[in-house]
Structure 1
């Protein structure tokens, strides 16, 4: 293989609301922290351990505006993008470094309110889904908002 690959796929929960920054010329970026968890059992103590990893997420322009409008702290989202490291001079003159995920695609999965509703009403299958657009498509009706999730009535061969 002659090429290289820089691709990241994450499913996690927003650690804060999307913070927007606008530039001259109309461009903007949105930033938010994303938490991913790994859960395992400690074999020595038989204790359930959760390890959380935090990721700095960056979305640009229209995608940033969509995220700011529809996402809030605690919402679950799928993001796809690439790792980008950058450096800058801090106010004290020291060089600072950060690693970010530059998002190229995303899909809204569930809101914090929906997850809390599922925990309280596990038997309620007639719950309405919230309209959630994708970065590459305009908003669609709620029943068709995520093409990656199979319809529960679909007869899958596996």
Structure 2
């Protein structure tokens, strides 16, 4: 089984290109994924490759700093650089990319959450409105 699920922020805008023979779209970007148990804020920088219409949508709607979720598989490879040395690569080939914050591509992440309001001090969770009543038990669910 080769399955990866990641959530992180883009380190730069996606780069879109087209494969000459087939004109299939290919987008690449790097996702910064936090290490949850690191003592000093650390992240892994993971290169993502996505194909087809989804690649075009990534280029259109994602930008540096935007939050994205990626599901895919790990793929390794290698190539010879200009000096003739072999360079080994590890990428995630995405089957699915979800845009986890809203707004247009140009809005970035400066002060706005992308949902049309400033981020509350509660670590990104909206406040519970007054008068909200939680369900007491499963019998209150209407289905």
1:38 aligns with 2:35: yes
* Match of residue 92 from structure 1: 83
Identify the match of residue 116 of structure 1 among 111, 114, 134.
111
* Match of residue 14 from structure 1: 10
Q: Which runs of 5+ in 1 are unaligned?
A: 43-48, 124-151
- Give every structure 1 segment of 4 or more consecutive aligned residues whose post-TM-superposition deviation is greater than 3 Å: 39-42, 111-115, 152-158
Q: Which runs of 5+ in 2 are unaligned?
A: 121-131, 139-143
> Following TM superposition, by how much is the alpha carbon of 1:92 offset from its aligned partner in structure 2, in angstroms?
1.4
Seen in structure 2, the aligned counterparts of structure 1 residues 77 and 91 have a Cα distance that, compared at 3 Å, is same
Alignment root-mean-square deviation, CA: 3.0
Aligned-partner SS, 1:110: coil
Q: TM-score under structure 1 normalisation?
A: 0.65
Count of residue pairs the alignment pairs up: 120
C-alpha distance in 2 between matches for 1:156 and 1:7: 37
Q: TM-score under structure 2 normalisation?
A: 0.72
> Following TM superposition, by how much is the alpha carbon of 1:83 offset from its aligned partner in structure 2, in angstroms?
0.3
* Match of residue 142 from structure 1: none
> Following TM superposition, by how much is the alpha carbon of 1:114 offset from its aligned partner in structure 2, in angstroms?
6.0
C-alpha distance in 1 between matches for 2:2 and 2:98: 20
> Following TM superposition, by how much is the alpha carbon of 1:51 offset from its aligned partner in structure 2, in angstroms?
1.0
